[in-house]
């Protein structure tokens, strides 16, 4: 009977282990396939074309160039190696202004030929219209459409996933935003975290420590929305006043909130590491006439360095992946930040904010998954660092 | 001349009365051994001489301990780190720092504010030679002290303690974790160091006590039962308890 029971438990544990691993692998696989789908998408929105006059010999445009044309930032074809002509962007909506309803027909059935002749009449015109509308055999040029290239995505510095006719998926601003916020968060959290850890492990009496430790661990359990809310009503206005900013929502506000959130991890892990520094080493140092502080920074901190380092890396891990609080206080401007006082946007915040409005299966949707893949690699790398540090620690202690 | 003088010392761990009215005098540049059954208070007494028990919360000392005629516990007297520079200690288990061999020996000099690199190098070499370790480690001064054997580590700890030239060296069972050859080396060392420093050594090994020490104190249940020349203690003790202990009839 006992035998059977033990067998069953063993079987159950194995099964649950397998199921968990498979689920995790499935999630990763899903993330990757969805993310990679972005590179199969076309630059120009699906089902649409950019039609040009016959005289216009421009063949290719990047997504950024298309956006510049329709935003009327660039006004001459010369810029793109075409003839010296003014650019006249045309969207389907413009048809309503140029033609009467009768001319277009109730079902827009005449719109195609009207637009085609319009383009033929205007040499500088570029029209963004559904492919199906263009009448067969129309005497027009078309911009060649290509797939979205990885270079545009990873090195592109503009993130406009909802721009028409060509959305921009430059992820660099988001990556930069994530790195900036995390970097500054660690810069703030590190000195405080280490000092609190030193205080708790070396200075505080047992009673103070017995009070502080649970309080700090409690900080870990506070939902991040609450931190975000705190940041929004306390830190953001404060920064706005202190630095005289037009808006207080900024990378700095994000880093401060993240620093507060990363603090408990850093403190707990670093403090544990310092307390596990053997008593015999402290005694050896004190017996040589070292003061308590000399002992702390010459023996305790160096010998618990790897523990402190894993605390810090774990803290960074939390900062990099944190979504809600950052979303609330960073201002969410998807531009490469030139200073930490500017609004910026991180990868997790972008995913959370945009996934709801991105049509499933579209390029925007897939680009968000690709962001997820990037985030996965960052945190994966960080975990590798923790593994490496703690394995080195083990090797050193044995 | 007396190097250390304990006057009616009582010591408490909280409510536990660990040392009961001990008075003794330790002469300069002599080796004094503390013997007695486990838990009788030898380590506790030894650690009073460099105020190592200060770290234990709830502990309390009555009585006075003088080193070179100065009360080391007098309020407003000597700083505790100054005292420990003068009173070195070697522990039961070798406890080198996770640093290089060189940095281990140089540690005491550095925390004392010595910056002169050449002086530190010289002092490290002298101390390692003094601890009969130089020839074994001179080619790997920069490798980790943890790479040494237990016996080598213990001699390194002795070199480390001696590097700051203390005038008293406290040793709490310095050879109990070592093999016979390393033990012999440590004992040899004690005999060589006796001209430079006053040594107080705790040991469970009767032969060791009789080999290395000039005087021996026998402790039992927190009391010092007998304190006399080592020869007298081991050949002709005055107390029966001492006689019983050294002949192995209890303990
Ligand atoms: N930190 C402490 N807190 C409370 N009691 C202690 C503490 N350290 C030692 N004691 C008690 O004081 C008594 C003397 O301890 P001590 O370590 O001095 O004995 P010892 O003679 O060195 O023994 P051993 O030969 O086993 O090392 C013991 O009964 C021990 O339980
Ligand atoms: Mg002891």
A328: number of Cβ within 10 Å: 23
- How many domains, chain B? 1
> If residue A265 lies in a helix (H) or strand (E), which one and from where to where?
helix A251-275
Check whether B105 has a pLDDT greater than 90.
yes
What's the pLDDT score for residue A257?
Answer: 93
- Is the CB of B18 inside a 6 Å radius of any atom of ligand 1? yes
Tokens 């383009």, residue located: A119
A48-146 and A172-397, same CATH topology: no
Give the CATH number of the domain where residue B38 resides.
3.40.50.300
Tokens of B37: 């059954």
- The mean per-residue pLDDT over the stretch B175-200 comes to 88
Check whether B124 has a pLDDT greater than 80.
yes
What's the pLDDT score for residue A62?
Answer: 85
Predicted model pTM: 0.78
Tokens of A178: 């994530």
The CA-based angle B217-B219-B222, given to 5 degrees, is 140
Check whether B251 has a pLDDT greater than 60.
no
What's the pLDDT score for residue A394?
Answer: 62
Computed over every residue of chain B, the mean pLDDT equals 92
Tokens 């140029």, residue located: A98
The answer to whether A300 and A326 have CB atoms below 8 angstroms apart is no
A20-29, A31-40, A333-342: the lowest-pLDDT one: A333-342
> B residues 160-179 near A, CB within 8 Å?
160-161, 164
Interatomic CA distance for residues B169 and A73, integer angstroms: 84
What's the pLDDT score for residue A197?
Answer: 92
What's the pLDDT score for residue B246?
Answer: 87
Q: How far is the CA of B221 from the centre of ligand 1 (A)?
A: 10
The answer to whether A184 and A251 have CB atoms below 8 angstroms apart is yes
Given an 8 Å threshold on Cβ–Cβ distance, is B95 in contact with A294? no
Check whether B107 has a pLDDT greater than 90.
yes
A48-146 classified as CATH 3.30.460.10: no
What's the pLDDT score for residue A109?
Answer: 79
Q: What is the DSSP letter of A87?
A: -
What's the pLDDT score for residue A397?
Answer: 54
Burial of B151 (0-12, 13-18, 19+ CB in 10 A): buried
- Cβ-Cβ contacts under 8 Å, B146 against chain A: 396
Tokens of A72: 């009327």
What residue ranges in B50-166 does DSSP mark as E strands? Answer: 59-67, 70-71, 87-90
What domain range includes position B148?
A: 2-246
Kindly report the nearest CA distance between residue A4 and chain B, in angstroms: 48
Percent of chain A whose predicted confidence (pLDDT) is above 90: 32
Percent of chain A whose predicted confidence (pLDDT) is above 70: 98
Q: Which atom of ligand 1 is nearest to the CA of B219?
A: 21
Q: What is the DSSP letter of A301?
A: H
Tokens 């075409």, residue located: A82
Tokens of B141: 């001064």
> If residue B220 lies in a helix (H) or strand (E), which one and from where to where?
strand B215-220
- Cβ-Cβ contacts under 8 Å, B99 against chain A: 302
| Residue B140 falls inside a structural domain | yes
CB proximity B1 to A under 8 Å: no
Tokens of B146: 């943890």
What is A172-397's CATH number? Answer: 1.10.3720.10
Q: Which residues surround ligand 2, an ion (CB under 5 A)?
A: B 43
- Cβ-Cβ contacts under 8 Å, B91 against chain A: 280, 283-284, 287
Confidence class for position A52, pLDDT limits 50, 70, 90: confident
Interface-testing mutation among A206, A280, A287, with chain B (most B C-beta atoms within 10 A): A287
Kindly report the nearest CA distance between residue B214 and chain A, in angstroms: 25
Kindly report the nearest CA distance between residue A390 and chain B, in angstroms: 16
- Cβ-Cβ contacts under 8 Å, B162 against chain A: none
- The mean per-residue pLDDT over the stretch B6-10 comes to 95
For ligand 1, atom 24, the nearest C-alpha belongs to: B38
Give residues with Cβ within 8 angstroms of A21, minimum separation 6. none
The answer to whether B194 and B3 have CB atoms below 8 angstroms apart is no
- The residue of chain A with its CA nearest to that of B157 is A284
Tokens 């992820």, residue located: A171
- The residue of chain A with its CA nearest to that of B159 is A288
Check whether B192 has a pLDDT greater than 80.
yes
Check whether B169 has a pLDDT greater than 90.
yes
Computed over every residue of chain A, the mean pLDDT equals 88
Long-range pairs for A229-235: beta carbons < 8 A, 24 or more residues apart: A229/A328, A230/A257, A231/A256, A231/A257, A231/A325, A231/A328, A231/A329, A232/A328, A232/A329, A235/A329
Higher pLDDT, B8 or A86: B8
Kindly report the nearest CA distance between residue A292 and chain B, in angstroms: 9
What's the pLDDT score for residue B250?
Answer: 63
Helix (H, G, I), strand (E, B) or coil at B200: strand
Check whether A56 has a pLDDT greater than 80.
yes
The answer to whether A334 and A350 have CB atoms below 8 angstroms apart is yes
- Is the CB of B161 inside a 6 Å radius of any atom of ligand 1? no
Highest mean pLDDT among A178-187, A351-360, B28-37: B28-37
| Residue B251 falls inside a structural domain | no
Measured N-to-C along each axis, helices A251-275 and A172-198 cross at an angle, to the nearest 10 degrees, of 40
What's the pLDDT score for residue A86?
Answer: 87
Check whether A80 has a pLDDT greater than 90.
no
Asked if omega into A362 is within 30° of 0 (cis), the reply is no
What's the pLDDT score for residue A137?
Answer: 76
> How far is CA A359 from each of CA A132, A138, A161, A354, B248, rounded to the nearest angstrom?
22, 32, 11, 10, 89
Give residues with Cβ within 8 angstroms of A40, minimum separation 6. A147
Given an 8 Å threshold on Cβ–Cβ distance, is B164 in contact with A288? yes
Domain boundaries, chain A: 48-146, 172-397
Q: Kind of pairing, strands A48-52 and A141-142? A: antiparallel
State phi, psi for B19 to the nearest 5 degrees. -125, 130
- Cβ-Cβ contacts under 8 Å, B55 against chain A: 283, 286
For ligand 1, atom 28, the nearest C-alpha belongs to: B39
CB proximity A303 to B under 8 Å: yes
The answer to whether A63 and A43 have CB atoms below 8 angstroms apart is yes
- pLDDT per residue over A211-249, tens digit each? 999 999 888 889 889 999 999 999 999 999 999 888 888
Long-range pairs for A203-206: beta carbons < 8 A, 24 or more residues apart: A206/B57
């Amino acid at each position: 009977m006992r035998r059977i029971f033990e067998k069953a438990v063993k079987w159950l544990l194995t099964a649950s282990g397998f199921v968990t691993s498979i689920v995790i692998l499935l999630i990763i696989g899903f993330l990757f396939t969805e993310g990679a789908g972005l590179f199969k998408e076309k630059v120009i929105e699906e089902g649409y074309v950019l039609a040009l006059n016959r005289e216009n010999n421009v063949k290719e445009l990047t997504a950024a160039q298309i956006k510049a044309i329709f935003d009327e930032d660039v006004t001459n074809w010369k810029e793109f190696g075409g003839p010296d002509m003014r650019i006249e962007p045309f969207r389907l909506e413009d048809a309503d202004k140029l033609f009467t309803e009768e001319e277009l027909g109730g079902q827009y059935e005449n719109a195609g030929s009207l637009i085609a002749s319009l383009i033929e009449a205007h040499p500088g015109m570029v029209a963004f219209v559904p492919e199906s509308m263009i009448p067969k055999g129309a005497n027009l040029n078309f911009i060649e459409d290509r797939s979205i290239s990885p270079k545009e995505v990873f090195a592109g510095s503009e993130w406009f996933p909802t721009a028409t006719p060509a959305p921009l998926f430059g992820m660099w601003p988001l990556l930069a935003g994530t790195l900036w916020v995390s970097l500054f968060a660690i810069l703030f959290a590190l000195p405080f975290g280490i000092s609190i850890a030193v205080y708790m492990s070396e200075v505080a009496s047992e009673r103070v420590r017995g009070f502080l430790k649970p309080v700090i661990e409690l900080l870990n359990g506070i939902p991040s929305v609450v931190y975000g809310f705190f940041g929004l009503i306390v830190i953001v206005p404060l920064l706005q006043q202190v630095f005289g900013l037009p808006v207080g929502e900024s990378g700095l506000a994000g880093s401060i909130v993240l620093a507060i959130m990363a603090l408990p991890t850093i403190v707990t892990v670093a403090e544990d590491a310092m307390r596990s520094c053997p008593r015999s080493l402290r005694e050896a140092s004190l017996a040589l006439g070292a003061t308590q502080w000399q002992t702390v920074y010459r023996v305790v901190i160096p010998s618990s360095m790897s523990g402190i380092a894993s605390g810090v890396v774990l803290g960074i891990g939390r900062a990099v992946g944190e979504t809600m609080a950052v979303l609330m206080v960073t201002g969410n401007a998807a531009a490469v930040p030139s200073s930490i006082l500017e609004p910026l946007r991180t990868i997790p915040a972008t995913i959370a904010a945009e996934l709801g409005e991105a049509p499933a299966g579209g390029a925007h949707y897939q680009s968000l998954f690709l962001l997820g893949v990037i985030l996965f690699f960052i945190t994966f790398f960080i975990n590798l660092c923790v593994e490496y540090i703690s394995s080195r620690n083990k090797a050193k202690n044995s | 001349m007396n190097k250390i003088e304990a006057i009616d010392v009582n010591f408490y761990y909280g409510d536990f009365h660990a040392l009961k009215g001990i008075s003794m005098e330790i002469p300069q540049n002599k080796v004094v051994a503390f013997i007695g059954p486990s838990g009788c208070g030898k380590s506790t007494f030894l650690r009073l001489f460099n105020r190592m028990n200060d770290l234990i919360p709830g502990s309390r000392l009555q009585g006075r301990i003088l080193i070179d005629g100065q009360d080391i516990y007098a309020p407003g007297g000597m700083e505790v780190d100054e005292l420990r520079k003068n009173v070195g200690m070697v522990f039961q288990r070798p406890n080198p720092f996770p640093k290089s061999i060189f940095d281990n020996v140089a540690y005491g000099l550095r925390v004392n504010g010595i910056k002169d690199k050449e002086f530190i190098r010289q002092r490290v070499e002298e101390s390692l030679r003094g601890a009969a370790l130089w020839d074994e480690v001179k080619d790997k001064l920069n490798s980790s002290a943890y790479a040494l054997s237990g016996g080598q580590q213990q001699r390194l700890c002795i070199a480390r303690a001696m590097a700051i030239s203390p005038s008293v060296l406290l040793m709490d069972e310095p050879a109990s974790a070592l093999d016979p050859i390393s033990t012999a080396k440590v004992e040899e060392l004690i005999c060589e160091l006796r001209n430079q420093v006053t040594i107080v050594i705790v040991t469970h090994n009767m032969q060791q006590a009789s080999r290395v020490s000039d005087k021996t104190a026998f402790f039992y249940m927190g009391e010092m039962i007998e304190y006399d020349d080592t020869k007298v203690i081991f050949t002709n003790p005055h107390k029966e308890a001492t006689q019983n202990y050294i002949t192995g009839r209890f303990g």
